Structure 1
């Protein structure tokens, strides 16, 4: 793999950054220490402008090349997950109940490596915008940075992102043009009735019975409202109610997620969810309240940008380690919100087959960092050639 020589020379330094970040995970938009670490490194590298507090704790660094040209955005996410770690690594999380289980520590490290290289060499004409984003796991960070004017404020013309994959061999690049990752909408259904003694159900308005009816009805959305080709996934993942065998509770809760690749399918599923909930509630004499926190657009790769990204990946890893027609993934990314505003592409980078992301024993493979940093760097140099 032709990793850039100067990036290969900083492999040990990148490992140190990554393991520091792994040991100090932060959640959601509250990535204050991580953002400070990133900003300090960018200052050390001689990055021309460093903007902090974009989207609460996001950081944007600007590096100007040798001459005028377009602005290419490179995005990495910084936040961790609220879950325990079981890796047993020397650099394991020092914060109970938090861990970098999705590789964001590695994503940040790869972009820092590219930043150091690009700030030193400046072998491009134009500007690179280094976008370090909080809150990807909660779906807040991308929209928050966009609300703070990310694209127009920094003049970004195209934007690219890289995500690690523990399902592919080290150095394998994976992507596809068009819809590549799913839209996701979560839902909270709160059912309120009237509790009572289990021996006298006729005196209550049972929210548990209503929840069972609603749950069964919701399972018909995919089977009876969507064609098989529509690739709609509807999953109920939580049901909570009651605290005793002989008490009918006053409330019940259902939670879950809807995923597809097309906004109209998301709209269909959300409409049918509301109709089924309200119909069942009326039939059972209870009330229902429907909400949700995450509502993300699909990640749709621009065709021209994807072809370009694949050409860079082939240069870094070779033709045999690039998959450019991978089937779309049902996982989701708030990077889709950025791709809705500017052309670009999300690419996955294999780190070797092992524990999956969002698993307690997952850890980023430090050997992947120089490969990702080289990809980011060559992407800028090829997109913004001098002369």
Structure 2
């Protein structure tokens, strides 16, 4: 079953929805306009139920098949939020909002799932219930967890759940997936170092926090190089280094360091936190200062379930002819929360030779729309085949 002809017919409409969303980006849970647009479209398509306000600003649509005797209920999820980035694409449909843009393609994900919802509402060629999930706040807000905490899975009896992300560098419309751990856990740390400030001409009368912090930044790199097993995936990155003084002739009293940790297993997640705490305390003590560490757990590891991954790959092959083995991704993805609640799988669809996601010149490639819509639709039609 190749790309469905119906999506060639709907391509201009879906592209129009996508570009409208692109022009009007909304961040985290503030997806009020986007959520309203999604709900309006789902009602226009004839969904059996449309509910707003799940997980604050999430939207859920329910589409019943021509029969529902199987009792199966499958969820399909797209994210709706944008990023706090100023767009530099120069497109005629570029963001109208300064400091906000769809730099990760969530506009494309939302439009493709709307396209699939329209098709499924028209055809209903399946035995069971499709639940289309439009989620806010994937970019750091944990909108997926909020929707689960709001009782989404139980309210609609969702049994399996599937998601998709566009991926620059893969041919447009191609697919890639992997079973097991796929996207990393994303934790953060804040380190407040305290020393004894003073005149830069008299360092012997101070406890120099800049020297302390410099040693600490280097020491934190030994977690990956010397504490973790080389076959385990772990990234420890210091991303901010700020002193309490900006003067040329002052040794600062304090330094604030921020960073992120990416891991692919619970074992490595625990190791990273323990070593960061120990290294910070030990390094500060070595120089006569002190360290206060705040370690914040973010998204968990996103783990694809084996059976659903195999099925999702088979569907991808039926749409595009092939499905590659995806590499591990050290970025985070809050679809992880949905996969902790229910079995399912998350797949990548090619976005072609574009800027990488989270770049101010990134843009979703609209030619990927038919493949993405077809994959979502086939997930429903094949998993809940009315012929069974």
TM-score normalised to the size of structure 2?
A: 0.95
Query: Which residue is 2:368 aligned to?
Result: 368
Contact 2:198–2:250, Cα closer than 8 Å, also in 1: yes
Deviations 1:361-380 (A, max 9, x none): 11011111121111101110
Query: Which residue is 1:184 aligned to?
Result: 186
2:329 matches 1:326: no
2:68 matches 1:45: no
TM-score normalised to the size of structure 1?
A: 0.95
Contact 2:142–2:299, Cα closer than 8 Å, also in 1: no
SS in 2 for 1:340: helix
Q: CA RMSD in A?
A: 1.5
Following superposition, the deviation at residue 199 of structure 1 comes to 2.3
SS in 1 for 2:284: helix
2:277 aligns with one of 256, 274, 277: 274
Structure 2: 5+ residue runs without aligned partners?
none
Following superposition, the deviation at residue 45 of structure 1 comes to 0.9
Map 1:148-163 onto structure 2 (within 5 A): 148-163=150-165
Counterparts of 1:188 and 1:154 in 2: how far apart (Å)? 39
Contact 2:180–2:304, Cα closer than 8 Å, also in 1: yes
Counterparts of 2:122 and 2:320 in 1: how far apart (Å)? 23
SS in 2 for 1:296: coil
1:295 aligns with one of 286, 295, 298: 298
Contact 1:192–1:252, Cα closer than 8 Å, also in 2: yes
Counterparts of 1:278 and 1:139 in 2: how far apart (Å)? 30
Counterparts of 1:189 and 1:379 in 2: how far apart (Å)? 46
Map 1:202-281 onto structure 2 (within 5 A): 202-241=204-243, 242-281=245-284
Counterparts of 2:253 and 2:156 in 1: how far apart (Å)? 52
Deviates more, 1:209-218 or 1:75-84: 209-218
Deviations 1:62-114 (A, max 9, x none): 11112222110101111111111111000000011111111100000000000
Alpha-carbon distance change, 350 to 209 in structure 1, aligned in 2, over 3 angstroms: same
Contact 2:308–2:345, Cα closer than 8 Å, also in 1: yes
Aligned length: 384
Alpha-carbon distance change, 291 to 32 in structure 1, aligned in 2, over 3 angstroms: farther
Query: Which residue is 1:8 aligned to?
Result: 8
SS in 1 for 2:231: helix
2:178 matches 1:171: no
Query: Which residue is 2:287 aligned to?
Result: 284
Counterparts of 2:192 and 2:27 in 1: how far apart (Å)? 26
2:29 matches 1:26: no
Contact 1:158–1:343, Cα closer than 8 Å, also in 2: yes
Contact 1:139–1:294, Cα closer than 8 Å, also in 2: no
Contact 2:273–2:295, Cα closer than 8 Å, also in 1: no
